[in-house]
Structure 1
Amino acid sequence: MHSQTPTPDQTIDPDRTVRLLDTTLRDGEQAPGVSLSPDEKVELARSLERAGVSVIEAGSACTGAGERRAISRVTDLDLDALVTSFCRGIRADVDLALECDVDGVHIVVPSSDRHVEGKVGTSREDNLATTAELVEYATDHDLWVEVIGEDGSRADLDYLAELAETSLDAGADRFCFADTVGHTGPEHTTAAVSRLAELGPVSAHTHDDLGLGVANALAAVSAGADLVHCTVNGLGERAGNVALEEVAIALSHVYDVETVDLESLYGLAQRVSRATGVELPPNKAVIGENAFTHESGIHTDGTLKDDKMYEPYAPETVGRERRLALGKHTGRAGVAATLEEHDVEASDDEVGEIATRVTELGDRGRRVTDADLLAIAEDVTGDDRERVVDLLDLTATSGGAVPTASIRLDVDGEERVASGTGSGPVDAAVSAIREALGSSADAELESYHVDAVTGGTDAVVTVEVTMVRNDRSVTVARSEADITRASVEAMVDALDRLLAVDQRPLAPADD
């Protein structure tokens, strides 16, 4: 990709080799509520490999037998990436890692007095001796070894340097500067890593408690670190680790330093989100829904004229697509472009009237969906459209062992009835819809969001779905007291809009 124009005082040379170590499967999994199955770890490890990640920390072998089985499943993949295990500063942890047949280990040892004396209850001198013994033990077993100086950002720098030197002299492949609690800023990171880099290879492990994860990672690279610890989507304890996708795009766009396959970043982010159950924040850099979404009339108009006008890099760079959102700030250009996407013809005067109504709808605090826009357009242009699919009746039950749903649809004037089962009433209803429509229901559910509009036991919820069919997408929102009905109505309306584009009779439901 083409980065910004380099400046003479650029602190990271584009010829630098920088690699990424992903610790989503270990440190990312330590985020509250996150637990990855062995199958999920295998799938994500394969995805990380395809993305070009150099080192994959598969877990912490000392956690338990289940974790060791999961790590062993990853090592059995025979990946090109180095597969490692996290170890505490005790020999037994190294032995457990060896059982998993990993390529290397990260031995975490205390470096600040708070951890040396308060947590471990030892002395600086004994800590140095123990670290040297562990490194020698691990290297004697042909392991790649990285020593992590825990809480390094709050350690006495002279002692941190002594710990690094001891580790490297004992045979460690590198020493890691760890901002364990996201405590420091880029100036101290630069000073510390510069000092450590004089001794040998250095990596950086930064957290985002102050929102400085990327800044500290880049400062570390500028100071000589050539390996950065990251997690996909910035998962991790507390505010999380530095996000892999943010480090990768920053190094590429600002410094022309390539680390991974950038086009794989969004797909990787989605896979991690699904596996962990942690949704992607809409305003998250690189992978958030809003990162390449434009609503403001000025921004939309500028982007339509020049796609670089309001974007630092093309969305395709990271596997994304540009999206024009509808709302109170949408102008004529955005409305016209969205109508064109849906093959709706309207005169200049009609576009102006549609844009005015979209703004009025947004002023009421509503997010304007594609279905809202198309309904407004039909009213303004007088182009009444007959529905292709209409919901006539829905029954769903979830009290039994298997949730079931039955549905009655009007499809091109033909009544169709079907039933389905699923993991819940919504899933069962979706199965029933697909059964009723057969091969015609070949649309994919791209996103599904539920928001409570009111509180209490009779709360109204809004379900918003985005469905994709033949490279065309449509977003629909429906509000109901019954979440199953809201979901089904939204999906049926979305399918109706997508199927209407074909302008041909639907085939009978599959046998």
Structure 2
Amino acid sequence: MVDLFGGHPDTTHLSDSDVQFLDTTLRDGEQAPGVSLTPSEKADVARELDAVGVDVVEAGSACTGPGERETISRVADLDLDATVTSFARGVEHDVDLALDCGVDGVNLVVPASDRHVEGKVGSTRADVVETTVHLTEYAKEHGLWVEVLGEDGSRADLDFLERLMDAALDAGADRICYCDTVGHATPDRTLDAVSRLAALGPTSTHTHDDLGLAVTNALVSVAAGADLVHATVNGIGERAGNVALEEVAVALDRGYDVETVDLDGLYDLAATVASATGVPLAPNKAVVGENAFTHESGIHTDGTLKDDAMYEPYPPEAVGRERRLVLGKHAGRAGVRAALDEHGVDVTDDELAAVVDQIKTIADRGRRVTDADLLAIADEVQGRERDRPVELLDLTAASGGATPTASVRLSVRGEERVASGVGSGPVDAAVTATREALDLDATLESYHVDAVTGGTDALVTVEVEVTRGDRSVTMGASDADITRASVEAMLDAFNRLLSTGGQVATAET
């Protein structure tokens, strides 16, 4: 057991292998509203879970349908080091379907609370125990690893939950699981329930975040004797989600010296799941959020420059991240000078003051100040001409036909390039043509028409945010022609990004 409470329970026999993970991103995580993973996406996520050392991967629920069974079979055929399982309801047919998928085991779910025993399945406590014993024996006879989960266990009568799980273990189950199915439990309830189950045999814990207690209850479960934590990457799942794998893994490692998975692969894993599910990472998300290791405040930046650990609980490199010192309205001289030093830009004290003033002015308008913005400001303050590797030579756009088209002629470091594109309108077509000409791996994050002046020669100001790798820049351009303003803004953004170390693909590539 892991001691989270300063003395109890005993930790003398704790080792790195005492706590493992069962990841249910591909089953419980996919049950989040709007999430549907393709077979190839599930396979990719499963491979990454295996690569970071997750011990059990729940690949799905075989009873869902033929498509899901095909997907589970695909994961089962990946030859992972992890045990691959299927969710199975308390019926023999579900076990058969799981067997057909070639999985290593089943997560057999049976009702535990009276609300589920009587209200959901219309059964009795005695019948549930009898069915659980039969299904466990049936699955074991067919060579499956078996985990029995008492659904809604956090609201169950604990005497009955203990009786049910003890019967499962006697029938041959490899382990039992405490389930806080609706995220209802408090830590003291979790401690009581898991302690009683862990005294029976190998116990897992499955916590949800409806009360914001998923991580707390998972850690309390481990303290009470659970040695396997059910989790999802990024905490996705039904309602408020499941406990986040990365948060529990880091909490156990940093707080209690318990190693579970390879932490340095967590960020890439999180990014893969966010991309596949379409559920973006919240900026303030622990461990993997954009702001987790980002500092803007002048006081915090100054402290971090003096001592990396001044305002961080652990180094970002531990979880595959990098520290970022961003510039905004709270930026101080020390942080700005450090950012300029990182790019090899030397400034006098007066120049530094001018740069800081411009950064604050831009930030006060609600704009992000990126590295590219910083370099452009420094160039302006020091009177340097910015390198413009890409220039617009000519632009034509037509929208009179059924399909709007556009063509651009660019100069890329002296090399002339021509490309055309189609789109939903002339602006979309022109942007498509520009990207085609540059063959640059950049993403247009946002597009905004900022202002329009009056009159027949009205000027339109277009603002775009473009990202390339981990760098982004926001640029604006004005013109009487909205299409030209859009392309000029895009090119200014590309030039800023390229001036911070990027390259445009050559004609041969």
Bin the TM-score by the shorter chain: 0.7 to 0.9
Instruction: After superposing the two structures, state which structure 1 stretch, 166-175 or 335-344, moved more.
Output: 335-344
Tell me the equivalent position of 1:475.
472
**Structure 1 segment 359-398 matched on structure 2, within 5 A:** 359-391=360-392
Corresponding letter in the other structure for 2:127: D
Tell me the equivalent position of 1:15.
15
**3-state SS in 2 of match to 1:159:** helix
Q: Does 1:496 align with 2:495?
A: yes
Cα 1:210–1:400 change in 2 (3 A) is farther
CA–CA distance in 2 between the matches of 1:451 and 1:508? 27
**3-state SS in 2 of match to 1:290:** coil
**Structure 1 segment 124-273 matched on structure 2, within 5 A:** 124-273=125-274
CA–CA distance in 1 between the matches of 2:448 and 2:240? 26
CA–CA distance in 1 between the matches of 2:93 and 2:188? 37
CA–CA distance in 1 between the matches of 2:279 and 2:382? 42
Compute the displacement of 1:434 (Å). Answer: 5.5
CA–CA distance in 1 between the matches of 2:118 and 2:155? 14
**3-state SS in 2 of match to 1:199:** coil
Instruction: After superposing the two structures, state which structure 1 stretch, 125-134 or 382-391, moved more.
Output: 382-391
Q: Does 1:357 align with 2:369?
A: no
Q: Deviations over 1:208-228 (max 9, x none)?
A: 111111000000000000000
Cα 1:451–1:308 change in 2 (3 A) is farther
Q: Does 1:296 align with 2:292?
A: no
Compute the displacement of 1:80 (Å). Answer: 1.0
Tell me the equivalent position of 2:105.
104
**Structure 1 segment 2-151 matched on structure 2, within 5 A:** 9=7, 13=11, 14-15=14-15, 17-151=18-152
Contact 1:474 1:494 in 2 (8 A): no
Tell me the equivalent position of 1:3.
none
**3-state SS in 1 of match to 2:466:** strand
**3-state SS in 1 of match to 2:22:** strand
Cα 1:387–1:212 change in 2 (3 A) is same
The percentage of aligned residue pairs carrying the same residue is 66
Compute the displacement of 1:365 (Å). Answer: 2.4
Count residues in correspondence.
Answer: 493
Corresponding letter in the other structure for 2:473: V
State the TM-score, normalized to the length of structure 1. 0.87
Compute the displacement of 1:335 (Å). Answer: 1.2
Q: Deviations over 1:127-161 (max 9, x none)?
A: 11111111111111111111110011111111111
**3-state SS in 1 of match to 2:49:** helix
Cα 1:58–1:396 change in 2 (3 A) is farther
CA–CA distance in 2 between the matches of 1:120 and 1:485? 65
CA RMSD of aligned residues (A): 3.3
Q: Deviations over 1:456-480 (max 9, x none)?
A: xxx9996423324xxxx64211469
**3-state SS in 1 of match to 2:334:** helix
**3-state SS in 2 of match to 1:254:** helix
Instruction: After superposing the two structures, state which structure 1 stretch, 58-67 or 373-382, moved more.
Output: 373-382
Contact 2:140 2:173 in 1 (8 A): yes
Cα 1:277–1:421 change in 2 (3 A) is farther
Compute the displacement of 1:388 (Å). Answer: 1.7
Cα 1:405–1:326 change in 2 (3 A) is farther
Q: Deviations over 1:297-351 (max 9, x none)?
A: 1111111111111111111100001111111001111211222233333212101
Cα 1:178–1:435 change in 2 (3 A) is same
Contact 1:104 1:144 in 2 (8 A): yes
Q: Does 1:509 align with 2:476?
A: no
Contact 1:203 1:228 in 2 (8 A): yes
Compute the displacement of 1:422 (Å). Answer: 9.2
Contact 1:450 1:461 in 2 (8 A): no
CA–CA distance in 1 between the matches of 2:429 and 2:161? 58
CA–CA distance in 2 between the matches of 1:401 and 1:139? 64
Compute the displacement of 1:355 (Å). Answer: 0.6
**3-state SS in 2 of match to 1:42:** helix
Unaligned runs of 5+ in 2: 451-459
Q: Deviations over 1:352-372 (max 9, x none)?
A: 111122112222222222333
Cα 1:428–1:113 change in 2 (3 A) is farther
Cα 1:371–1:81 change in 2 (3 A) is same
CA–CA distance in 2 between the matches of 1:267 and 1:503? 22
Compute the displacement of 1:508 (Å). Answer: 6.5
Contact 2:475 2:493 in 1 (8 A): no
Compute the displacement of 1:432 (Å). Answer: 4.1
Compute the displacement of 1:52 (Å). Answer: 0.4
Unaligned runs of 5+ in 1: 1-5
Contact 2:376 2:386 in 1 (8 A): no
**3-state SS in 2 of match to 1:284:** coil
**3-state SS in 2 of match to 1:289:** coil
CA–CA distance in 2 between the matches of 1:486 and 1:71? 50
CA–CA distance in 1 between the matches of 2:482 and 2:83? 46
Contact 1:38 1:73 in 2 (8 A): yes
**3-state SS in 2 of match to 1:308:** coil
CA–CA distance in 2 between the matches of 1:283 and 1:161? 39
CA–CA distance in 1 between the matches of 2:285 and 2:311? 17
CA–CA distance in 1 between the matches of 2:182 and 2:223? 21
CA–CA distance in 1 between the matches of 2:68 and 2:142? 21
**3-state SS in 2 of match to 1:80:** coil
Q: Does 1:450 align with 2:446?
A: yes
Corresponding letter in the other structure for 2:134: E
Corresponding letter in the other structure for 1:223: A
Compute the displacement of 1:10 (Å). Answer: 7.5
Contact 1:478 1:486 in 2 (8 A): no
Instruction: After superposing the two structures, state which structure 1 stretch, 273-282 or 213-222, moved more.
Output: 273-282
Corresponding letter in the other structure for 1:496: N
Contact 2:390 2:413 in 1 (8 A): yes
Corresponding letter in the other structure for 1:495: F
Corresponding letter in the other structure for 1:304: L
**3-state SS in 1 of match to 2:33:** coil
Instruction: After superposing the two structures, state which structure 1 stretch, 371-380 or 257-266, moved more.
Output: 371-380
Compute the displacement of 1:491 (Å). Answer: 5.2
Contact 1:12 1:255 in 2 (8 A): no
Instruction: After superposing the two structures, state which structure 1 stretch, 142-151 or 390-399, moved more.
Output: 390-399
CA–CA distance in 2 between the matches of 1:390 and 1:325? 29
Compute the displacement of 1:500 (Å). Answer: 3.7
